[in-house]
Amino acid sequence: MSSFRELGLPAWLAEQAQQLGIGRPTPVQAACIPPILQGRDCMGCAKTGSGKTAAFVLPILQKLSEEPYGIFCLVVTPTRELAYQIAEQFRVLGKPLGLKDCIIVGGMDMVAQALELSHKPHVVVATPGRLADHLRSSNTFSLRKIKFLVLDEADRLLEQDCADFTKDLEVILGAVPATRQTLLFSATLTDTLKELKSLAMNKPFFWESQAEVRTVDELVQHYLLVPEKVKDAYLVHLIQTFQDEHEDWSIIIFTSTCKNCQILTMMLRRFNFPSVALHSMMKQKQRFAALARFKSSVFKILIATDVASRGLDIPTVQVVINYNTPGLPKIYIHRVGRTARAGRHGLAITLVTQYDIHLVHAIEQQIKTKLQEFSVEERAVLRILTQVNVTRRECEIKLEATDFDEKKEINKRKQMILEGKDPELEAKRKAELAKIKKKNKQFRARVQQTLQEKKQHQLKRKLQKKAQPQQRQVAKEK
Ligand SMILES: Nc1ncnc2c1ncn2[C@@H]1O[C@H](COP(=O)(O)OP(=O)(O)OP(=O)(O)O)[C@@H](O)[C@H]1O
């Protein structure tokens, strides 16, 4: 494989990368750096932990060193934590240039951010919502002269999921020049390829790793079949086992809701596991503090929602536990990709209830590999079952006393107001939608029943018809 110098990067940058342990280019870097240096748009789809960040940071720094001005590059990414991580890579690799960066994310002081933007940093790393807010409300900075637009986790930015970024992206795309170079990266680009191609119009270079299996070879993947009601006991048992068997261990547990994330954290703490939560209901400062303490191994367990499933690079994570089976294979790919990064080994265990088996099949089909069953000593789980269930209930009661649900509702309403929606109207719309859905469901059930009855009736007649000649024959014989 070629060296960074052979790919066209200057000595100072190759040396800087070397100092950070980025010695020889990974395949995605070897493939994407030359076309980016040639001025082409680029779409890079490579496995989690394969070095996609440096694949765009290094060539951008090279170009910046040739023509240094601010604001030279804009990076948009879906989560705040990821924005900080990317900015850090720019800052460290671009140190010899005296690189100035600026991070624009929600939950932080907007006035201070506006001031920083007006000082023309070389690189702006932002989440879509807050950057769009600045663009709508301020004229103290301009993105009209940027040379590079990077969409990291590009497919997530274009998805119209619960956090829909498309409106904010429209504002951002309207503020950047058409003659920019556009770079799009993710471990899962293929679902949104068409939309992405319309963004990268400058002779886009598309690179996808050829490997059939979509997860890395160093990752051992298991499923553990558990009845819904005893999931917590299995979880506690799994963690206890890791703690007993490993000196140096670190686990991320993914769950689907903020509330469950909070309850699990409280519950695991009751069992004296050094745990910390990360979810979107926490204040931003708490989120950063939680992540920092997990990274520095003060806490060995991070319990998170999917806010942490993409991009986070924490080399010490050895195990990922999916407390719930992800509903989409690509969420699974990103979650388990928080371990086994940059050639290290890792383990992923997905808890699967009887209702989730079809989801596991969908995951296996997508990642082109089979998950192996994880065996657990059931008697050991049964021994702690009652104690775990009682502890969980106590934690639920404690959380209910803190108005967690109410706060969530208030947050939702705040978000709607910020998005220019009327919470009352939205509630009405949702109620009407639910009514229609219910009616449709009832209608479908009625149709189903009528069809069933018709089928049974036809079958009965068929049987009767078949029976008639035989009966006649019997009568004749008599
Ligand atoms: N050429 C290299 N040699 C060794 N380590 C590298 C190299 N390039 C990057 N790394 C390291 O690999 C780790 C993962 O890189 P990075 O976070 O860019 O992965 P990614 O492909 O963006 O993953 P994800 O899809 O999860 O976001 C980082 O710690 C990074 O410093």
pLDDT of 478 over the 70 cut:
no
pLDDT at 197: 80
- Ligand 1 atom closest to the CA of 187, numbered from 1: 25
- pLDDT of 217 strictly over 70: yes
Q: Give dist(CA 167, CA 182) in Å, integer.
A: 19
Question: The CATH number of the domain where 60 resides is what?
Answer: 3.40.50.300
**Is residue 265 domain-shared with residue 298, that is, in the same domain?**
yes
Range of the domain at 43: 4-208
In a domain, 396, yes or no: yes
What pLDDT is attached to residue 45? Answer: 94
Please indicate, yes or no, whether residues 246 and 154 belong to a single structural domain of this protein: no
- Tell me which residue has its CA closest to atom 22 in ligand 1: 52
CA of 319 to the centre of ligand 1 (A): 18
Residues 29 and 109 in one domain: yes
User: Does ipTM top 0.90?
Assistant: yes
Same domain, 249 and 185: no
The protein residue with its alpha carbon nearest to ligand 1, atom 3, reads 22
Domain boundary among 374, 407, 440: 407
**What's CA 122's distance to the chain center, in Å?**
28
**Whose CA is closest to 22, among 324, 305, 343?**
343
Tell me how far the alpha carbon of residue 68 lies from the centroid of ligand 1, in angstroms.
26
Q: Which of 188, 307, 201 is nearest to 258 (CA)?
A: 307
User: Mean per-residue pLDDT for 344-363?
Assistant: 96
Say yes or no: 202 and 228 in one domain.
no
User: Are 163 and 116 in a shared domain?
Assistant: yes
Strand (E) or helix (H) holding 186: strand 181-186
Which of 24, 52, 84, 155 most suits a substitution to test ligand 1, by most atoms within 8 Å of the C-beta? 52
| Residues near ligand 1 (Cβ within 6 A) | 21-26, 29, 46, 48-54, 187, 311, 313, 315, 337, 341-342
What distance in angstroms lies between residue 317's CA and the mean position of ligand 1's atoms?
A: 14
Which of 54-58, 100-104, 331-335, 416-420 has the lowest average pLDDT?
416-420
- C-alpha 74 to ligand 1 mean position (Å): 20
- Determine, yes or no, domain membership for 362: yes
Question: What does the pLDDT read at residue 416?
Answer: 65
Average pLDDT rounded to a whole number, residues 106-116:
94
**The pLDDT value given to residue 247:** 85
State yes or no: pLDDT of 418 exceeds 70.
no
- Residue 270: pLDDT band (50, 70, 90) is very high
Greatest mean pLDDT among 135-139, 347-351, 423-427: 347-351
Substitution site in 22, 306, 338 for ligand 1 pocket (most atoms within 8 Å of beta carbon):
22
Read off the tokens for 208: 């996808």
When pLDDT is averaged across residues 287-312 and rounded to a whole number, the result is 96
High-pLDDT (> 90) share of the chain, % = 75
> Which of 4-13, 75-84, 228-237, 239-248 has the weakest average pLDDT?
239-248
- Do 82 and 46 sit in the same domain of this protein? yes
Which ligand 1 atom is at minimum distance from the Cα of 89? Answer: 31
Is the residue at 412 inside a domain? no
CA of residue 423 to ligand 1 center, whole Å: 42
150: DSSP letter: E
204-208, 280-284, 361-365: which has the highest mean pLDDT? 361-365
Q: What is the DSSP letter of 307?
A: G
The more confident residue out of 468 and 117 is 117
User: Whose CA is closest to atom 20 on ligand 1?
Assistant: 49
**Nearest CA residue ID for atom 23, ligand 1:** 49
Confidence (pLDDT) at 1: 54
Q: How many whole angstroms separate alpha carbon 192 and alpha carbon 467? A: 59
Q: What is the pLDDT of residue 419?
A: 61
176 falls within a domain:
yes
Alpha carbon distance, N-terminus to C-terminus of the chain: 93
**Of 84, 313, 331, best ligand 1 pocket probe by most atoms within 8 Å of the beta carbon:** 313
Cα(186) to centroid of ligand 1, in Å?
12
Compute the mean pLDDT over every residue in the chain, rounded to the nearest whole number.
91
Mean pLDDT score, 44-62? 97
In a domain, 143, yes or no: yes
Atom of ligand 1 nearest to the CA of 338: 26
Mean pLDDT within 140-144: 94
If asked whether residues 259 and 304 sit together in one domain, one would say yes
Same domain, 101 and 162: yes
The confidence band for 465, taking pLDDT boundaries of 50, 70 and 90, is: confident
CA dist 261 and 304 (Å) reads 6
Q: Are 78 and 163 in contact (CB under 8 A)?
A: yes
**Predicted local confidence at residue 407, as pLDDT:** 67
Lowest mean pLDDT among 154-163, 409-418, 441-450: 409-418
Q: What is the model's pLDDT at position 425?
A: 75
Answer yes or no: do 226 and 168 share one domain.
Answer: no
- Residues 185 and 298 both lie in one domain: no
CB 152 within 8 A of CB 11: no
For residue 314, CA distances in Å to 86, 100, 252, 339, 344 come to 13, 24, 10, 8, 11
Do the domain assignments include residue 452? no
- Identify the pLDDT of residue 415: 66
Share of the chain above pLDDT 70, in %: 94
Residues 164 and 21 in one domain: yes
The reported pTM is: 0.85
Is 84's pLDDT higher than 60? yes
* 428 within some domain: no
Give the number of the atom of ligand 1 that is nearest the alpha carbon of residue 50.
21
Residue that finishes a domain, picked among 208, 230, 254: 208
Q: Whose CA is nearest to atom 27 of ligand 1?
A: 311
Domain boundary among 176, 208, 240: 208
Mean pLDDT over residues 290-297, rounded? Answer: 96
> Which tokens hold the place of 199?
């963004």
The lowest-confidence range among 48-57, 87-96, 133-142, 322-331 is: 133-142
Residue nearest to atom 2 of ligand 1 (CA): 22
Q: Is the pLDDT of residue 411 over 90?
A: no
**Residue nearest ligand 1's atom 4 by CA:** 22
Number of independent structural domains in the chain: 2
Q: Which atom of ligand 1 is nearest to the CA of 337?
A: 26
Q: Which of 20, 341, 344 to mutate to test the pocket of ligand 1 (most atoms within 8 A of CB)?
A: 341
pLDDT of res. 421: 67
Averaged pLDDT, 431-436: 81
Q: How far is the CA of 315 from the centre of ligand 1 (A)?
A: 10
Atom 6 of ligand 1: nearest residue by CA position: 22
pLDDT band at 467 (very low <50, low <70, confident <90, very high): confident
How far does residue 342's CA lie from ligand 1's centre (Å)? 6
Is 451 contained in some domain? no
